[in-house]
Structure 1
């Protein structure tokens, strides 16, 4: 662990300080990731706000950087120094801006937001292209970025290296597999009926029927600039299909029927990526990152978790690592 000039390590005679406990989290929810560090007080000055913070953990099968950010707050007592840090999303949460964009994709706008806020861009997917898109002061850069993500059906989060990602839910096989009776410590999973099972997106303009140069025209009939999608009981996405619990979304940035259909499908894909919610805690696993897919193997057939998680891949929204003398090294994944 490195915080400015402070260094701590499990290796003998490495570093100039000691750590009592570590808790760090990366998340798609809220205002981003954070770390909470308890350090043994020494004769040297404690870390200062603004100091770059890097934490790497190793479970014995290879280490990984689990948090990169900077110090937000330092507290000192006679025998302990407490350091609170945040990841790159905090820079966007503090940054205020305005701007107007023409013929740019959501990803291009997102990348500019990240760079202007002084953060580092990671995986930035394009998403739809907007004829025009305006940012007003008031909402900070992070809220603008999250608004773009909501429109595209994307997520916003950082990785262990502090890079900001703007991407659609990952699909496919599991990135990590945990054996239930050997690695899993606690579970708290649930499957609930979604508050909506479909969405219909309505845009503006006559681009679909009159061409892109008429995108600014107002039309009486919006059917040409709308699209819908839904999910069934098995969380399969059905493009151009209505559900029983439909939600309507109106957005002037959407100017064609194709874009409206694409955004409706993206929103339902995001909903379908959470068939099961809750958490699992496992023996320390530093290589797990937000957005990755995990599954549980060898769940006892009589266990209630078997019906919820057996054979399914779960997408990690939050990963939290804790290390202390009381608990050892534990990783908590939330879905």
Structure 2
């Protein structure tokens, strides 16, 4: 039986398995649809510890001598009691949820906009792909910087999240790792969500003649000609129609429609609980095998990861997934 190991760094404090300061409970969570990665730690026998808000936090989990980074962030709250201390930490994406910007970009790639906003929000860059190229793109203060970037990711068909190093990822889903889980071996539980009726057709309407033979310089002209992108097929009940002023050309409108359809179509989703696996990350893929029902087997995209460690239940990992 493998021995669970961990290394927790909070400012100048380092906690490891076997030391006087004991880890009572650990919960970390990251999800594609939630902006901020979080981690909650409960430490026993806290005498001599010095912990303050804004201290840097990193958490590594694993077995024996092999540990993997699962969280990086800063202390957001500390609750002291006589026999324990409870620490809440969050990733730096919190700055994007609070920021409001007024910016106008001319002829940018989506990646250029992302890098500029991340720099202003003091968020580190991990991977930022170029994505669509726009004639002009405006960011307004009516929405948070995070919401603006999530919209941009949807237009490009990308994911936008913070990785375990607390660095921003703005990229198309391309799993770097596939994690194999087998029923009866490392799968503890699996939940299947009944898919809701999805969108079968998407229409994106833009506002410029620049693709009607006038070129990108014509982005500000008025016209009666329609700029429209269409993806999929379906009736009016399953058609999503959107107006997007950033779609200045037929090509951009078409790519937006395809990306939105991929996001909104009917998908199988669920949750799987497995023996603790610190290697599972957002952007990876899981492969499920040997399930009692053959329809539950297959390869799925990871959309959320929670690691849980305590004395009662040990170390387990809960993974949210969806079909690609």
TM-score (norm 1): 0.87
Q: Contact 1:276/1:314 (CA < 8 Å) preserved in 2?
A: no
Report the alpha carbon displacement of residue 192 of structure 1 after superposing the two structures with TM: 1.4
Alignment of 1:120-135 (within 5 A): 120-135=124-139
Residue equivalent to 2:306: 320
Match of 2:183 among 180, 183, 188: 180
Alignment of 1:279-294 (within 5 A): 279-294=271-286
Q: Contact 2:10/2:51 (CA < 8 Å) preserved in 1?
A: yes
Cα deviations by residue, 1:87-125 (Å, 9 ceiling, x for unpaired): 121121233332111111111101111121111111112
Specify whether residues 204 and 263 from structure 1 end up closer, same or farther in structure 2 by C-alpha distance, changes over 3 A only: same
Residue equivalent to 1:247: 240
Residue equivalent to 2:16: 9
Q: Contact 2:35/2:161 (CA < 8 Å) preserved in 1?
A: no
Flag as ranges the 4+ runs of structure 1 deviating above 3 A.
59-62
Q: Contact 1:88/1:164 (CA < 8 Å) preserved in 2?
A: no
Report the alpha carbon displacement of residue 45 of structure 1 after superposing the two structures with TM: 4.1
Cα deviations by residue, 1:218-256 (Å, 9 ceiling, x for unpaired): 22131xx211112xxxxxxxxxxx223110111111111
Report the alpha carbon displacement of residue 72 of structure 1 after superposing the two structures with TM: 0.5
Equivalent position SS for 1:182: coil
**What is the alpha-carbon distance in structure 2 between the residues aligned to residue 164 and residue 321 of structure 1?**
20
Match of 1:104 among 108, 114, 126: 108
Residue equivalent to 1:196: 199
TM-score (norm 2): 0.90
Cα deviations by residue, 1:53-99 (Å, 9 ceiling, x for unpaired): 00001145832100000011111111111101111211212333321
Report the alpha carbon displacement of residue 46 of structure 1 after superposing the two structures with TM: 4.3
Equivalent position SS for 2:108: strand
Equivalent position SS for 2:247: coil
Specify whether residues 59 and 269 from structure 1 end up closer, same or farther in structure 2 by C-alpha distance, changes over 3 A only: farther
Report the alpha carbon displacement of residue 177 of structure 1 after superposing the two structures with TM: 0.9
Residue equivalent to 2:3: none
Q: Contact 1:153/1:270 (CA < 8 Å) preserved in 2?
A: yes
**What is the alpha-carbon distance in structure 2 between the residues aligned to residue 185 and residue 334 of structure 1?**
14
Q: Contact 2:287/2:300 (CA < 8 Å) preserved in 1?
A: yes
Alignment of 1:250-269 (within 5 A): 250-269=243-262
Equivalent position SS for 2:114: helix
How big is the alpha-carbon RMSD for the aligned residues of Structure 1 and Structure 2?
1.9
Q: Contact 2:307/2:317 (CA < 8 Å) preserved in 1?
A: yes
**What is the alpha-carbon distance in structure 2 between the residues aligned to residue 76 and residue 105 of structure 1?**
48
Unmatched 5+ stretches in structure 1: 231-241
Q: Contact 2:136/2:219 (CA < 8 Å) preserved in 1?
A: no
Specify whether residues 114 and 193 from structure 1 end up closer, same or farther in structure 2 by C-alpha distance, changes over 3 A only: same
**What is the alpha-carbon distance in structure 1 between the residues aligned to residue 109 and residue 201 of structure 2?**
25
Residue equivalent to 1:226: 228
Q: Which has the higher strand share?
A: 2
